[in-house]
Amino acid sequence: MSLKNKSLLFPVVLITAVIFITTICFAQSPAPSPYPTATKKPTASPAVSPKPTTSPAVSPKPTVSPKPVVSPKPTGTTASAAKDIVLGKITAVMGNSFLVAAKDGSSKNFNITASTRFLKPVSITESQLKEKDKLVIIGKEETNGAVTALLIRVISPNMPEDLFSMDKNTDSGKFIKGTVTKAAPLTIKDSDGKERAVKTTKVTRIRKAGFGSQADLKAEENVVVKTVSETSSDAKVIIIFEKR
């Protein structure tokens, strides 16, 4: 081969080599996708549950103990409860002592001492009654609350009201205790605080305690005896009632 032909062959070989290398490199490169590449979603972090809110501790309310029930005090002494008061009728008088047939069926002896007081009811008129007088009334109760009195006793300031409890055992009518609020027409406020009109008739007896003496003690007289104590036989107050 001539030198001229060799000089022409070299450029052809060089060009062929370049083409071959380019083809190989192109074949190894990845073909572009006709579709858009999907964007990879970021991995979500696991949800963290919020910590429960702790409510502030509420202190329990202190328990209030109920107030003790206080039994009401008795408002007065009844005939059955007053052991130092005896109601009955004189059966015998013996010097400084006397015997009484009590309402409970027993027979009791009492002594008269230097300090024994004697009281004896005296008759008065309705006009002699005045405001603030304390009364014991026995009578018929009307539907409107008024009372038609058969007997009215005035309780003197120095006399225990329960001495007249003898009248509570009567069958003559209703027993009412009260204080005069108006003298004319006669009106009282009873022990329950109720205002009552009091009517009198020709047969109504009105009595007020007067002073008596040992000479007034006679057989068959009705008496109320208040002793010095529940266990004593010495009479402190003796009220002599008229026979009925």
Residue in the structure block whose two tokens are 């490199």:
25
pLDDT value at position 149? Answer: 93
pLDDT value at position 37? Answer: 53
Distance CA 189, CA 182 (A): 9
Beta-bridge partners for 88:
102, 223
Residue in the structure block whose two tokens are 């005069």:
180
Residue in the structure block whose two tokens are 């062929």:
16
91 Cβ partners below 8 Å, 6+ apart? Answer: 99, 100, 101, 107, 219
Distance CA 218, CA 205 (A): 22
pLDDT value at position 230? Answer: 86
Contact 170, 162 (CB under 8 A): no
pLDDT value at position 238? Answer: 87
pLDDT per residue of the chain (244 residues) written in tens, 0 to 9: 554 555 555 555 556 655 655 555 555 555 555 555 555 555 555 555 555 555 555 556 656 555 555 544 444 333 334 578 888 899 999 999 999 999 888 999 999 999 999 988 889 999 999 999 999 899 999 989 899 999 998 987 766 555 565 555 555 678 888 999 999 999 999 989 999 999 999 999 998 888 889 999 999 988 889 898 888 999 998 888 765 4
pLDDT value at position 197? Answer: 96
Question: Quick one: how far is CA 33 from the chain centroid?
Answer: 97
What are the phi and psi torsion angles at 133 (to 5°)?
Answer: -65, 135
Taking the CB of residue 163, how many other CB atoms lie within 10 A of it? 24
Contact 17, 10 (CB under 8 A): no
pLDDT value at position 20? Answer: 59
pLDDT value at position 184? Answer: 92
Looking at the whole model, is its pTM more than 0.75? no
Which DSSP category does 9 fall into? Answer: H
The number of residues making up the chain comes to: 244
Max Cα-Cα span within the chain: 198
